[in-house]
Structure 1
Amino acid sequence: MTRKDNPQGTDNVLFDLGFEDAEDLSAKAALAVKLNELIDARGLSQVEAARITGMTQPKVSQVRRYKLQNISLERLMQALASLDQRIEIVVQPARRKHAAGIAVVA
């Protein structure tokens, strides 16, 4: 995670703060929010969530605290699928050249 200068504001606060991997972090955060909502809704402990998702308890703890630098998008998607969620990835042309990137809707 490297920061860069960006004086112009965007709709991505992580990018505005200068994180070069802002799109990746935003996508991870959206998936982590959904994962945490499911864990809460099911009343799962971290140990139970780890068993169901195939993650380790320390990884579940990282997700619970949104410490996502060492967790891949793929791992988060696999965890969501293990909690009976359907994940769709859609690739389409950007409407504007500068609108290209990654977006997650959860």
Structure 2
Amino acid sequence: MFEFFYSEKSSQFYFNLKAQNGQIILSSEMYQNKQGAENGVASVKRNAEDMSKYERKTASNGKFYFNLKASNGQIIGKSQMYSSEAGMENGINSVKNNAPMAGVIDLS
């Protein structure tokens, strides 16, 4: 499920993708307007099944995370931090399996 939010602090919109267990598996960048965030969700849905769009990373603290990139190379979502590579791969598979058909809840 995608959830839209509005940040009073930054006056911008963003979204999270949640797994069926309610855990956030992908968070977007900030968008100037709601249309931008809606376009971001559409881009996640389009790109989620393409494994070449996932950029696997290791943070300075040794934890693992991934970015999902659009066709133009721009990051459209970042994962949470994982303690293992296997956990990160499970997160990628969760985005791949959940995003394309996920509904949207507007909490903005």
User: Is this a same-fold pair by TM over 0.5?
Assistant: no
Higher RCO (CA-CA < 8 Å; seq separation 6+): 2
Q: Of Structure 1 and Structure 2, which has the larger fraction of its residues in helix?
A: 1
TM-score, normalised with respect to structure 2: 0.28
Q: Higher Cα Rg: structure 1 or 2?
A: 1
